[in-house]
Chain A
Amino acid sequence: MSTSTQPNPALLLAGKKLNNDWQVIDLIPKNPDGTGGNFSHSYNVENLITGERAFLKALDFSKAFKDVDPVPLINKLTGLFQFEQDVLERCRDKRLSRIINLIDSGMVPAEEGTIIPVPYLILELAAGDIYQQLDFSKISHAVNLRILHSVSVALFQLHNNGIAHQDVKPSNVLVVENKPHKLGDLGRADLRGETTPYGLMAFAGDLSYAAPEVHYKAVSSDWVFKRIASDAYQLGSMIVFLYTQLNMTAIMKMHIAPEHNWTNWTQTYREVLPYLYVALEQSVEFFKEFVDDKELAEKLGDLLFQLCDPDPNKRGHPKTITGKNKTISLERYNTIFDRILKDYEMKTLGLKFN
C-alpha cells in the first residue's frame, strides 16, 4: 500500500477564474517580515470586467483536516471566517470609509482528488501596513498625524455601529494608494449586544498591545468600559508607537517596579493603580523626549494621559468621561487629530490660523 500527499487546494488558486468575474493572478508569498496567519493564504486578484486589482484571503482547511480532532477545529475556523465576513459586510453596508472594504466573497468548491473547499474574501488592495511606509530614522510628523487621524476616525466609525476592533496595532493599519489609511483585520472584533466568537474573552487581540487592566485581569463587565476603553487605549498606544516604535504597554512595563507588574502582583487592580499612574507619567515623559517639536509633544502627551489612563473608568476625553452620563467616545479625537495636523501643516508652511 502506498501513501500520497494530498495537494492543498488553498495553495492552488493561482490562475483560477472565480465565479464572480475575478481572476486569481498569483499567490502572495508569506512575507518574511509579516506575521501571517497559519490558516489563510493571500492572492492578488483582478476583476476581468473593470480591471480592478484586489486582495484575496483564502481559508486553508488543510491543517485542520490533519488535526487529531479535526471536527471542532474545522467548526471553529468556519465560524471565525464567517464572523469576519459578517463584520466586513456590515462595515461595507454602513459605508465605513476607514475600514478596509470587502468587495466580494465566495467559495471554490472541492475539486477532483480533494475533499476540501476553499472559502475566500476579496478585499480592497492595500500597499501594505504602516511598517512599509514608516522611515524610523526620519520621523515625519505629518505622516504620523495622518495615520492617527485615520485610526481615530476608523475606530469611531466602528464604535458608532456597535463594533469594537480589539486588535489595533501597526500591522493592522493599512496603507491604501491615494486614500487615507484604513484599519484591517476585524477577525478579533466584538459586537455590542451580540454573541461573537471572542465575546466571552476579556481581550481577544494581540496581548502585547493590550491595556494594563487586561494583564491584571481587571476588565470591566460593562461593554463600553471593556471594549471601547480597550480600543481607546490602543489608539493612544499607536501615538507612542509612531514616535518610539514601542507600544504604551511595553513602555509602561519598563517603568513599573518588578514587584508591581502583572507577573508578580497578587492584590487588586485598585491597589496597583497608583503605581500605574506613576508609570504612565514616566512613559509620557519618555515619549516626549523623542518628539522634536515641543509644542506637538505637549499636545500628544496630553492625549496620552487621556487615552492611556490605566483606569478604564477614567479613560477618554474629560468632557465625555466625567459627569452623569459618562461614556467613552472617540468622536472628539477625530477633531483633535485633524486640528493638530492642520496646525502642524500651517506651521510648517509658516502660516497661522487667525
Chain B
Amino acid sequence: MASWIPADKRRNVIPRWRDFKPTIELGELNPVPNAKSKAFANPISPFHTAKIHDWEAARTVKNAIELLNSSIVLDDQEHTLSTASFLKSSRESSVPLKKVADQILYPRDTDHSFEQLLNLERFDKIIGEKIQRLRRCLDHNPYNSISWIELARLFLIIGKEESAERCILVAIQLAPDNRYISRTGSRFFTHVGDYKKAQKVLKANAAFKTDPWLLSADIGIASLNNKSSFNIKIGRELVASQNYSPYDLNELLSALATEELNAGSIKNSKRLFNESLINPNDNAVAQAVWAGKHISNLNLNQGLFDRTPHIFEAKAYNFYYNKSWGPAFSSTLQWFIDQPFSSDPAVFGSFIATSVLEKYDEGIKIAKYGLKSTPNDFTLLNNLTFAYLKNNNIKEAQQTIAKIHAESLNDHQRVFYLATKGLLYYKLGQIEAGETAYNESSNLAGRTKNKKLQLLADFHHLIAKVELEKSEQNLLKLDHLVKELEPMNEIYLQDVLNNLIKKLDAPKTLNIK
C-alpha cells in the first residue's frame, strides 16, 4: 500500500529552495529595514543636469544615448522613457539600443523555464542543459556565488549529493553574509540530515540576529531536529520591534506559532499563525494549512490561495482535503517542479496518482524522479513498488522493493512494507505468503497501537483479495472499513472502493454508498 506524509506528522518552517529568479520575485530577498543606513539615493549629478540641458537643446542620437545611460543609472524615469522612445524610432540608433529601448518601453517576462519543466519527459534533458550552461558560466565568472547555488540545486535534483555539497561550500565561502546563500545552504544541509551544519551556516551570517528570514529558518530547523532553538527569544523581540513588514516576518511568525503549537499553547499559536497570514508567502500558508488540522478557525480564506504566488503545496493539500483529487495532483506536479529535490511532493504525487486516481504511469514517473534526489527514500521506493504492482509490472516491482533496506525500517514503515510485500505475493500467485505478509502488517500496526494503520492494512488486504476473487462479503467489509477510517482523515477510500465496484461490475443490490 502506498503512503504519504500524514497530516499528523509535524511540519516545520524550513526555507524553500527555488531558482534564484522566482525567489527574488517573491520578495524573499528584499533588504530588511535598517535604521542605521538609508538607501543609497544619488544626489542630483551636475553631469546629468548638463545632459538634460543638451537633450532639450538638441534631440540627437548622441544626446539621447548619453541621457539614456545617465537616466537608467540615476533612476530618472521621465528621461529614461523619453530617450528610449526617441531611440526606438530613430533610424540612426543601433540594434542594441533599439532592443533596450523596447525592453524599457514594453517590459515583459520571457522566462519559460518553469513551464518547460512541467514536461516531465524532457525533465532530464532540461536539467542537463542547465548544468552545462552554468558550468560554462562559472568558468568565466567563478565568483558568482548564486550560480554555484543554482548548480548545487541541479546536482541535487539528479541525485549528485556530493557534487552539490561542493558547490554549496564554495558559495558559502564566497558570500557568507548573503541571505539567499545562507538560507539555501542551510536548506541543503537539512536535506542531507546535517541539522547542526544547517544552523551553523545561518549563524555565520553577520545579520543572523537581525534578519527574520534567517531566524525563522533556525527555529524551523531546530524544531525539525526535535529541539527548541536558542533564538526564539530574539525572534519574539524582532516581532515585537515593529521594525519589519508583515511579509518580512511571515515565516518567523509561522515558525514561532509552530513552536507554540508543539508546546501545546493553542491560543498563542493561533494568534501567531493569524499574524503570519497577514501577508504570507507560500511556506507560511502551507504551514497554516497543516496547523489547521490542529487549530480551528485560522484565517485561511480563499483570497490567500488566490493571491499568494507559488502556493502549490498548500493548494495540493487543500484540494486533497476537499476531495478534489485531479486539481490536488496538478498542484502537486507544480510543487514538484518548484521543489524537485524535495521528496515530499514526489511522495504526495505518487500517492495520489497511484492510490486515489489510479494513474499508475504518472505515479511511477513522479516517484522515479523523486528518487533521483533521494534514492534511498523508503516511502518513494514503497510507493513506486505499489504503483508497479497495480500496473502489473511485477518484475520492476520486485527490483524496486529489493532496494529497500528492510532491517533499517521503523515499525510504521514496516507496516507499509509488509502490506506492499503482501500485494507482491498476491500478484505472483503466492496467496498464502501474501496473506501472511498482510496479516503481519496488520498485527504489527496493532502492536504499535496504531488503529488507523491497522485498518488501512486490512483494507488493502481485502482489496487484494477482492481483485483476485470477487466477493460480496469482502466488499461489504471494505465498505465498513471505509466508514471506520473516514473520521481518521483517510478520506479517499470511498472513491477507491467505488472505483473497485465499478471495475468489478458488482451487483447494484449491494448496499454500499
Which residues from chain A sit less than 8 Å from chain B, CB to CB? 32-35, 38, 131, 136-137, 139, 171, 206-210, 215-217, 243-247, 249-250, 253-254, 257, 259-260, 262-268, 270-271, 273-275, 277-278, 280-281, 284, 286, 289-290, 301-302, 305, 309, 311, 314
28 contacts between A and B (CB under 8 A): A136-B93, A207-B48, A207-B73, A208-B74, A215-B42, A243-B96, A244-B94, A245-B93, A249-B73, A250-B72, A253-B73, A262-B39, A262-B42, A264-B39, A266-B38, A267-B31, A267-B34, A267-B207, A271-B177, A271-B178, A274-B180, A277-B144, A277-B146, A277-B147, A278-B144, A278-B146, A280-B141, A290-B96
Q: Are B141 and A254 in contact (CB under 8 A)?
A: no
A314 contact set on B, CB distance < 8 A: 143
A172–chain B nearest beta-carbon distance, Å: 12
Name the residue on B nearest A137 (C-beta): B94
Beta-carbon contacts of B35-47 to A below 8 Å, as 1s and 0s?
A: 0011111100101
For residue B33, which residues in chain A have a CB less than 8 angstroms away from its CB?
A: 266
Which listed segment binds A: B55-63, B332-340, B343-351, B385-393? B55-63
Do A32 and B58 touch (CB < 8 A)? Answer: yes
Task: Name the contact of B65 in the complex, choosing from A209, A245, A302, A311 (C-beta under 8 A).
Answer: A245
Would you call B181 an interface residue if the criterion is a C-beta within 8 Å of the partner chain's C-beta atoms? Answer: yes
User: Which residues of chain B (13-69) have a CB below 8 Å from chain A?
Assistant: 20, 24, 27, 29-34, 37-42, 45, 47-48, 50-51, 54, 57-58, 60-63, 65-66, 68-69
Decide if A207 touches B42 in the complex (CB within 8 Å).
yes
- Is B66 touching A35 in the complex (CB atoms < 8 A)? yes
List of 3 A-B pairs having minimum Cβ-Cβ separation, nearest first? A32-B58, A208-B70, A244-B96
In the complex, A182 Cα to B41 Cα: how many Å?
Answer: 34
**Which residues of the other chain, A, contact B147 by a CB distance below 8 angstroms?**
277-278, 281
Q: Are A301 and B177 in contact (CB under 8 A)?
A: no
Q: Is B100 an interface residue (CB 8 A)?
A: yes
The CA of A139 and the CA of B41, in the complex, are separated in Å by: 35
Contact A250:B73 (CB < 8 A) given known A136-B93, A244-B94, A277-B144: yes
Are A217 and B62 neighbours in the complex by a CB distance under 8 Å? Answer: no
Chain B 69-88 interface 0/1 with A at a Cβ cutoff of 8 Å (1 = within): 11011110000000000000
Q: Hey, which chain A residues are within 8 Å of B58, CB to CB?
A: 32-33
A262-B204 Cα distance, complex, nearest whole Å: 25
Inter-chain contact B40/A216, CB cutoff 8 Å: yes
Most buried by A among B57, B73, B147: B73
CB-CB < 8 A to B74: which residues of A? Answer: 207-208
Rounded to whole Å, the gap between the CB of B82 and the closest CB of chain A is: 16
Most chain A CB inside 10 Å of its own CB: which residue of B58, B60, B177: B177
A residues within 8 A CB of B38?
Answer: 266
A21 to B20, CA, bound (A): 67
A289 vs B96: C-alpha distance when bound (angstroms): 9
Among B33, B96, B179, max chain A CB count under 10 A is at: B96
> Which B residues are in CB contact (< 8 Å) with A32?
54, 57-58, 60
A32-B57, A208-B73 known; A278+B42 contact, CB < 8 A: no
What separation, in Å, do the CA atoms of A208 and B73 have in the docked complex?
A: 6
Given A208-B48, A263-B39, A275-B146, the answer on whether A137 and B92 have CB atoms closer than 8 Å is yes
Contacts A33-B62, A208-B47, A274-B178 known; A267 to B37 CB distance under 8 Å?
yes
Whether A274 touches B45, Cβ cut-off 8 Å, given contacts A32-B58, A244-B97, is no
Does A35 lie within 8 Å of B47, measured CB to CB?
yes
CA distance A284 to B178 in the complex (A): 23
Query: Are A246 and B100 in contact, CB atoms less than 8 angstroms apart?
Result: yes
Q: Which chain A residues lie closer than 8 Å to B175 at the CB level?
A: 270, 273-274
A280-B141, A281-B141, A290-B96 given; A33·B54 CB < 8 A:
yes
In the bound complex, what is the Cα–Cα distance between A314 and B27 (angstroms)? Answer: 29
A131 — which chain B residues lie within 8 A by C-beta? 62
Cβ A136 vs Cβ B48 within 8 A: no
Query: Is B103 in the interface zone, CB < 8 Å from A?
Result: yes
A309 CA to B140 CA, complexed, in Å: 11
Measured between alpha carbons, how far is A246 from B96 in the docked complex, in Å?
A: 8
| A315 → chain B closest CB, angstroms | 11
Residue contact A265 to B40, C-beta cutoff 8 Å: yes
Q: Which of A245, A254, A271, A289 contacts B103 (CB 8 A)?
A: A254
* A242 CB, nearest partner CB in chain B, Å: 11
Q: Which residues of A contact B144 (CB under 8 A)?
A: 274, 277-278, 280-281
Residue B250 CB within 8 A of the other chain = no
CB atoms of B48 and A262 under 8 A apart: no
Q: Which residues of A contact B93 (CB under 8 A)?
A: 136, 245
* Chain A residues closer than 8 Å to B140, beta-carbon distance: 284, 301-302, 305
How far is A210 from B120 in the complex, measured between Cα atoms in Å? 46
B145 CB–A CB distance under 8 Å: yes
- Whether B137 sits at the interface, judged by CB under 8 Å, is yes
Across the interface, which residues of A come within 8 angstroms of B178, CB to CB? 270-271, 273-275
Q: Would A253 and B47 be within 8 Å (CB), given that A136-B92, A267-B32 are in contact? A: no
Apart from A38-B50, A263-B42, A270-B177, what 9 extra A-B contacts exist at CB < 8 Å? A35-B66, A207-B42, A260-B31, A264-B39, A271-B31, A273-B178, A274-B144, A274-B174, A275-B146
Indicate if B263 sits at the interface (CB-CB under 8 A): no
Q: Is B488 an interface residue (CB 8 A)?
A: no
The docked-state distance in angstroms from the alpha carbon of A139 to that of B31 is 41
- The answer to whether the Cβ of B240 comes within 8 Å of any Cβ in the partner chain is no
Q: Tell me whether A259 and B177 are in contact (CB under 8 A).
A: no
Distance between Cα atoms of A131 and B58 in the complex (Å): 15
Residues of B within 8 A of A217 (CB): 40
- Which one of A250, A259, A305 lies within 8 Å of B27 (CB-CB)? A259
Cβ-closest chain B residue relative to A264: B39
Report the Cα distance A257→B41, complex, angstroms.
16
Of residues 85 to 119 in B, which have CB atoms within 8 Å of A's CB atoms?
A: 92-97, 100, 103
A301 vs B140: C-alpha distance in the bound complex, in angstroms? 9
Q: Which residues of B contact A215 (CB under 8 A)?
A: 40, 42, 73
Contact between A263 and B97, CB atoms less than 8 A apart: no
**A206-B45, A266-B39, A301-B140 in contact; A246/B177 too (CB < 8 A)?**
no
What's the least CB distance linking B144 to chain A, in Å?
4
* Residues on the B chain within 8 Å of A281, using CB: 137, 141, 144, 147
Question: Are A207 and B47 in contact (CB-based, < 8 A)?
Answer: yes
Q: CB distance B68 to A250 under 8 Å?
A: yes
Assuming the contacts A32-B54, A273-B175, asked whether A266 and B146 have C-beta atoms less than 8 A apart, the reply is no
The minimal Cβ–Cβ distance linking B154 to chain A, given in whole angstroms, is 16
Scoring A217, A245, A257, A274 by chain B CB atoms within 10 A of each residue's CB, the highest score goes to A274
Q: Evaluate contact between A245 and B96: CB separation under 8 angstroms.
A: yes
Which residue, of A246, A257, A266, has the highest number of chain B Cβ atoms within 10 A? A266
Within 8 A of A (CB), among B142-164: 143-147
Partner of B30, one of A35, A207, A209, A259: A259
A137 to B95 CA separation, bound complex (whole angstroms): 8
Residues of B within 8 A of A273 (CB): 175, 178
Contacts of A259 in B (CB 8 A): 24, 27, 29-31
A246 lies within 8 A of B97 (CB): yes
Collect the chain B residues with CB atoms within 8 Å of residue A267's CB. Answer: 31-32, 34, 37, 207
Contact B31 A253 (CB under 8 A): no
Q: Measured between alpha carbons, how far is A216 from B31 in the docked complex, in Å?
A: 13
User: Contact between B96 and A274 (Cβ–Cβ < 8 Å)?
Assistant: no
Contacts of A245 in B (CB 8 A): 65, 93-94, 96-97
Smallest distance from the beta carbon of A208 to chain B beta carbons, Å? 4
What residues on A are CB-neighbors of B145 within 8 Å?
A: 274, 277
Q: In whole angstroms, how far apart are the Cα atoms of A206 and B67 in the complex?
A: 12
A264 to chain B, nearest CB (A): 5
Residues of chain B within 8 A of A206, CB atoms compared: 45, 47, 70
Taken together as a complex, chains A and B put the C-alpha atoms of A305 and B95 apart, in Å, by 23
A277 touches B141 (CB 8 A): yes
Q: Decide: B60 and A263 in contact? CB cutoff 8 A.
A: no
Distance to closest chain B CB from A260 (angstroms): 7
